[in-house]
A and B are shown apart, each in its own frame.
Chain A
């Protein structure tokens, strides 16, 4: 219950819908039970009592009641639905808002698929319970209670005989439920596996074809395909076993009713109409009972869903803005003083005692093997992570003093993997600053050497990107990502291996253009190619989170250090080629 209490803020404001829906439910159930009574009245009073004059009254009352019931049913259902959907509307907004504020640290460990299933299946499970599950539980209790009351009123012995079947039914229902749910989970799981198999196959189709492994893939697929079929069939065997059984118990109950009821009618202690009414009432009890297992299961699932949603809502926000955060403009003077960063506690530090000073106008180059800490440095500047020790300063003040929005909108960040959104190229470039004009967008694209290829597309800047949009090459995506970063007019620009897929000629042009843009601003360039950062004002060579060398290209290239080794490897071609022919 605790879970529901914690989520109360989302549904309790709408309690009036829920309460009203319950009020209507009481009407609905009460009138439902009236139906067999009317049947009984008709048979016993009209037919056997020869009172045909009662018919108009009975018919009139019946129609009237059914109209009331119709309206009550409508409002019960609609208000119940509304209660659920309006609650999860609020809940979903809250979840989304929360997800926006969670830090990189959270996303390092989270899987998109997992969060997605919480945002869809779990929210839906919770909604279903609010809309229908809880009310259904009440309905079942009410309907069974009222039906039993009417039965006992008509004939206590017959009611007892009929009820004898109930325990059996309850046992079967719960046994069925216990078996069918794990089976359903298995179906879902094997469907998931099948899905993964196909998805991998299609995504890796080039690899499959290049190694000519189609038959091997078909073989693997048919295993998963068969597994899905088998799991599905196993579940349907459970259905085949229990469902007819439940129905059969109901039928046996009806037979018992007919036998004993028949004798009672013959012996004169039961009116024929009452017997007929019993036949309806029996199904008012059996039907909901068969449903009971489902509803109970709904309840436990809604609880589990709620818990998974609370995990998101309660997740720790480790990057928190100060209350009196600075909103002053940022010039872009970045200083690191003895900075140490650890991603996971007790793990090796990702950065160890890093210090450097980058006043506006300076270009810092970062080079080193994968995992040496290049990206970590830049992600401390934007405060995606926080340093464990030491100071990260911008314009002489710790980054934590700045308002996050102010800080990050002053930094143009081009991430390693150029992620683009499902929208036009124009909107993608304007993403960081929705207020830019088209001229600014085009200007940024020109500087990123993207304008020409954009204009070659049939719809130019209105070309849609994303899953179903135009396919762009890696280099084209990187160039749009660069344009996006330039477009926010940043004081600090970070290029994290941002031109790896761009050919040398274009990279050269981009760098020339950036030089112009970044006059008087601070740039950080992470690259594998010496050519990409040899012109930097200071190059930091990183190894295992430590700066092993620093200086300008000319110094580093001849001090027999790591940088020189990289240089030698990259430039061996040149030596070799220059050796053969005089250029």
Chain B
């Protein structure tokens, strides 16, 4: 670790980056969690689930019957008695059985996948929809990547369990028990002798395999560390080259790469042991079969021995032992991984949205836009009050401005109007309705927020503007763009409104993105418009355009503006100066300047600074 003591160390760069690797990959088996997962099977418990099980049973039964037919009937009776007719019947019979198994397998694969994919679809849909409803606080405290991983990868790691896992578990148990029962029926003595290898097989498929799996986990950790660095290294390549750290990073990478190499080598050393051990185990079984089996055959059936056919059937079944045992071992691992994944999924599903809709909530019809704050108090965390007993009265159609330093409570007021949070004390009302009584959707549909950093989705310009109102026609979209003055630059793009923009809109400048967001907001036609630092970090020429667009956008709406730019604030009907969650003063620009209070001081200090520079 690089810390104070070795700041001068010449190898400091070898440990320069720190990548935290994924959470636990597997967890202890947990019944409640398992039952919660199985609930997702319920919609299919009357169709695909039983159908898949029946199809599976048919092919398993065939697999178990054929060796007996070959051994006990074909060899012991037909061939022994040179009975060609019987052999013919038998062959036709086996052929038919195989045909049955063929049909069974076809449907099993089909139904098992339909079942699994439907469950995965439902689960993912459920999780995504739930996440949509969660509040800002949820998203603030997590990186986008970590949420993505749960919706995509964690759900996917349940795919195998729901597709093949559960059916295979049944199939393997049936097969295994079937084989053991048949062997004991055919010859208890030989069966008992052969069973010696069972515990060894179980040992290999659980203990040894777990050991191997652990070393592969180490590989995965090393790999994900390496990939994290690669990804970051590529994104930060310009910085690396600016600071000419290419060589140092190369050495760092060699370290990570070598770590990966070593862990991979260790894992493959262990893995390579697996197959030989399994085969040795089979060999022991075969030797027992040969030695003891041959002895029993020579003994003759009359003396408690066996016939040749039994011997052959044993040889067949011996070869069939390994597969179910091996799969059961795998299944166990899969379950542990599924436990870890589902725990993470359920953690999200158990997250409650922090604003609830009451049961008897109603729609606000025809919102007019009269906003009242009545002694509103709010804290994001216990003991850290963000707003102290604030009372505001914003009339329909007014433009008001919120002024103050970072953390003074400006954005909190905006968040309370959209009801992203509920006040800790007091009431927020629109048109006289307590926000807690109305349907959230009917409220938010009439409120638009324009943020400083507008997100542009990948898709065409047209689609991006239409995001404000999915029902708008092409003409309406273009009209909105014209009104806010975005039409000019859109027409200049390669394919006008049909131009594809990349995620985050990299081909557009910050100002152009902002104009698009205005067009979006206009299209949404809100009664209340909130501009949260919407015009920061834009070059001056564009800002003039935006200013004009803004005036058109504000017309006829109640507007709340949070901004630094004095020109925007100056024209507001009412300016609230906030500090530490309290309103220090309010009034229009002229009144506040005349008052020579906080606002006056704020304006003055800004200009003094400009002069000093």
Contact = CB atoms under 8 A, between A and B. Distances in A.
B584 interface: no
Interface in A420-439: 421-424, 426-427, 430-438
A258 B10 contact: no
A408 B250 contact: no
Interface stretch (A195-203, A342-350, A388-396): A195-203
Interface stretch (B27-35, B175-183, B441-449, B478-486): B441-449
Q: How large is the interface on A (under 10, 10 to 19, 20 to 34, 35 or more residues)?
A: 35 or more
Contacts of B361: none
B467 interface: yes
Interface string B254-293: 1001101100110011011101110110010011001100
Nearest to A41: B290
A58 B288 CA distance: 12
A409 to B, nearest CB: 5
A73 B271 CA distance: 11
Contacts of A226: 121
B354 interface: no
B231 interface: yes
B544 A569 contact: yes
Interface stretch (A172-180, A206-214, A302-310, A355-363): A206-214
Contact of A99 (B90, B234, B276, B589): B234
Contacts of B538: 528
A435 B276 contact: no
B520 interface: yes
Most buried by A among B117, B128, B145: B128
A272 B257 contact: no
Contacts of B444: 209, 212
Interface in A375-415: 382, 384, 404-405, 407-409, 411, 413, 415
Most buried by B among A276, A464, A535: A276
B392 interface: no
A63 B283 CA distance: 7
Task: Please classify the interface of chain B as helix (H, G, I), strand (E, B), loop, or mixed, using the class held by over half of its residues.
Answer: helix
Nearest to B596: A581
A325 interface: no
Task: Please classify the interface of chain A as helix (H, G, I), strand (E, B), loop, or mixed, using the class held by over half of its residues.
Answer: helix
A58 B287 CA distance: 9
A97 interface: yes
Interface stretch (A85-93, A142-150, A327-335): A85-93
Interface string B90-121: 11001100110111011101100110011011
Most buried by B among A225, A433, A580: A225
B434 to A, nearest CB: 19
Most buried by A among B18, B151, B239, B517: B239
Contact of A468 (B20, B87, B118, B269): B20
Interface residues of B, number: 171
B139 A202 contact: yes
Contacts of B246: 100-101
Contacts of A411: 242
Given A42-B294, A252-B95, A434-B16, A508 B268 contact: no
A583 interface: yes
Most buried by A among B8, B18, B418, B609: B18
B406 interface: yes
Nearest to A411: B242
B113 A233 contact: yes
A47 B420 contact: no
A97 B250 contact: yes
A29 to B, nearest CB: 13
Most buried by A among B237, B257, B265: B237
A477 interface: no
B276 A421 contact: no
Contact of B110 (A99, A208, A236): A236
Contacts of A405: 244, 247
B552 interface: no
A580 B468 contact: no
A259 B543 CA distance: 88
Contact of A419 (B146, B238, B455): B238
Contacts of B302: none
Contact of B98 (A47, A248, A276): A248
Interface in A563-580: 566, 569-570, 572-574, 576-578, 580
A164 interface: no
Interface stretch (A4-12, A114-122, A155-163, A291-299): A114-122
B87 to A, nearest CB: 5
A205 B144 CA distance: 10
A31 to B, nearest CB: 10
A101 B99 CA distance: 62
A251 B113 CA distance: 24
A434 B544 CA distance: 45
B249 to A, nearest CB: 6
Interface string A1-27: 000000000000000000000000000
18 contacts: A59-B290, A77-B268, A89-B261, A97-B250, A100-B246, A112-B234, A211-B468, A229-B118, A248-B98, A255-B91, A369-B542, A409-B244, A415-B238, A431-B239, A438-B4, A466-B18, A488-B243, A577-B593
> Across chains A and B, which 10 residue pairs bring their CB atoms closest together, nearest first?
A204-B455, A210-B449, A212-B444, A432-B243, A236-B113, A70-B276, A244-B105, A66-B283, A240-B109, A81-B268
Given A423-B16, A427-B2, 10 more contacts: A43-B308, A86-B261, A206-B451, A236-B117, A252-B98, A262-B91, A370-B510, A421-B232, A422-B228, A484-B243
